[in-house]
Structure 1
Amino acid sequence: MARIDLSKRKLILHKFVSEKLSYALIAKSVGVSKTSVYQIIKKFGEHGSVADLPKSGRKKGSWDQKKERKIESLLLANSKCSVRDIAKKVGVSVGTVQNTKKRCSIRTYKKQKIPKRSEEQQSRAKKRALKLYKFLCKEKGKCILLDDETYVKMDTTTLPGPQYYHAVSKDDVPDKVKSIPTEKFAKKILIWQAICTCGLKSEAFFTTGTINGEVYRNECIKKRMLKLYKKHQTPPIFWPDLATAHYAKETTDLLSSKSIIFIGKDSNPPNCPQLRPIERFWAIIK
């Protein structure tokens, strides 16, 4: 029988007892099936009521509540215990722990990796972050142009992620198929890229060497970043990385000569990759 609320069940009973209507007429007037009307009348005849009967099963007692409180306290203690470990400690099943989490609205979150900073770095980062916030508030509505470099391994077979092979028995497969030879100091390529918060990006610059001040100014800024900068109708704000080449006097003079508004070194928080969207860009690309 489909679920019918109590008020409708009482109405069906009233029409049957007081109005003496048939099952078919009651079903049509109330908007339920004839079978539902029959089941409700039958239930009233057997139990003297159309209300829900008491449910079967063991009632939750104080013992369960103690267990639940213990599970909740262990979960909220942010210990490194897994759900399985907590289940063993409390003496319940893994499913009980999972259900307790759900009832208590407790969710599991993945820890985020952040740079390890000294107290001096932490203090400097907070002060500069405040300056950066105030600066960006004044320039509200403008795009932010960021650039950064990252290293990528030249051998694509050693990129992160599992690689598989198929076989009936791995003993029949040669070692060169079921293994990936890796170099201790693998060759890497350095990639420079500039992106903007509006979704535009510059042409990438690749090198097997390093990016010093001269390379940065000639290859990155003049040949690539300026092209991206000029695509904007409203000049964006340039947020460089804190690399030495990015804030060299020749570099800042070049930016000023091109009338590029950039975030000063004293407003650029150190060692705060989580603040720079380009770090997420690299994470997706790599």
Structure 2
Amino acid sequence: MFPRKIFRDLNGSLGLNTIKRWCKMIRDTGSIQLSTSPGAPRLARTSKTIRKVKQKLDKKKTVSARDLAKDYGISKSSAHRILTEDLGLYAYKVQIEPKLTDEQKKKRKKFVNWIDNNFRKVDTMRILFSDEKLFDLDGIYNSQNQRIWAASRDEADEKGGIKMGQKYPQKVMVWLCVCSKGVTPLVIFDRGTVTHAEYIREVLPVALEYGNKTFGEHWIFQQDGATPHTHHLTQEWRQDNFPSFIDKNHWPPNSPDLNPLDYCIWDEFARCVNWKKITSKPH
């Protein structure tokens, strides 16, 4: 081994004396064994502090790096390195799921068994899922992910860092159906609400026309348990006109995660709208 050549190859990132000492270790023992870690000693990320952080996490599941830094008198960056480098942890956002009662869980199991016994995989590809969603002039924004990079709060505000929200924004309700083949035309209710009569008159014929045109005679219509959907006249209209549908006794309550519209498509739909240009309800 030639310490000077190694020193030149490393462009001086390690001292020549250190390289000589390590080369001697390799010649004498066959490996480099250091009694202490190279570099400056740790003052914040000590084994004692790391152990305390781990114990705190075991007791309290949601702890921020800022709180840890304040509790143990260390910097926020040191607290973050303890979490990620020393403990090998990752930060995950809390996910929101529907809160289900025992009765709702039973209905879900009943629904799964009903689907399993009465639907083939090819049948599920012919389900026309429907849903309504309210949109208002405030549009949508994500307070967690939409960030403005600036040198100060004032500069961030000038760059659009303030989102103005109305106390009672004007709203419209949008109805849409989606299936494996595509989406139906939109039906928009200016008043922001819909009655069973409006639902029968303006919505169901659109779904019927699209379903027949897309799938022919064999397809299934789905809707949730909203009052206009479960009204007896709505049920009768569907019974007389649709080839098949999931009735109110089978679709489980509080189940947005079972509908692709609620699960993801409404969110994608809203992101396609340029909310900065929407200034009025008719617009």
Band of TM-score, shorter chain: 0.5 to 0.7
In the other structure, the counterpart of 2:174 is 191
Instruction: Note closer, same or farther for the CA distance 1:227–1:53 as it changes in structure 2 (3 Å cut).
Output: same
Contact persistence 2:208–2:242 (CA under 8 A): no
Unaligned runs of 5+ in 1: 2-34, 36-41
**Aligned to 1:109, what secondary structure does the other structure show?**
coil
Aligned CA RMSD, in angstroms, stands at: 3.9
8 Å contact 2:176–2:187 — kept in the other structure?
Answer: yes
| Residue of 114, 121, 126 corresponding to 2:105 | 126
CA contact (8 A) 2:224 2:253 kept: no
Q: SS state of the match for residue 111, structure 1?
A: coil
SS of residue paired to 1:110: coil
1:71 match: 53
Query: Relative to structure 2, which stretch is displaced further, 124-133 or 254-263?
Result: 254-263
Structure-2 change in CA distance of 1:73 and 1:238 (3 Å): farther
Aligned to 1:252: 235
* Match status 1:283 vs 2:267: yes
Helix, strand or coil at the partner of 1:89: helix
Q: What fraction of aligned residue pairs are identical, expressed as a percent?
A: 21
Contact 1:43 1:50 survives alignment (8 Å): no
Asked whether the equivalents of residues 200 and 228 of structure 1 are also in contact (C-alpha less than 8 Å), the reply is no
Cα deviations by residue, 1:93-141 (Å, 9 ceiling, x for unpaired): 43443333334342222112345x6xxx712311211111112223131
1:160 has 2:124 as partner? no
TM-score, scaled relative to structure 2: 0.65
Paired residues of 1:124 and 1:270 also in contact (CA < 8 A): no
Q: 1:122 to 1:204 in 2, by over 3 A?
A: same
Give, in whole Å, the separation in 1 of the partners of 2:74 and 2:22: 41
Of the structure 1 ranges 249-258 and 63-72, higher mean CA displacement relative to structure 2 is found in 63-72
- Using the TM superposition, give the Cα deviation of residue 283 of structure 1 relative to its aligned residue in structure 2, in angstroms: 2.1
Show the 5 A alignment for 1:9-88: 46=24, 48-49=27-28, 51-55=30-34, 57=37, 64-88=46-70
How many equivalent pairs are there? 230
Find the aligned partners of 1:182 and 1:151 in 2 and give their Cα distance. Answer: 16
CA shift in 2, pair 1:95/1:227, >3 Å:
same
Q: Deviation of residue 189 (structure 1)?
A: 1.1
Distance 1:140 1:89, change over 3 A: farther
2:129 to 146, 159, 162: 146
On the 8 A contact 1:72/1:100 being kept in 2, the answer is no
Inter-CA distance 122–226: structure 2 relative to 1 (3 Å threshold): farther
Give 1 or 2 for the bigger CA radius of gyration: 1
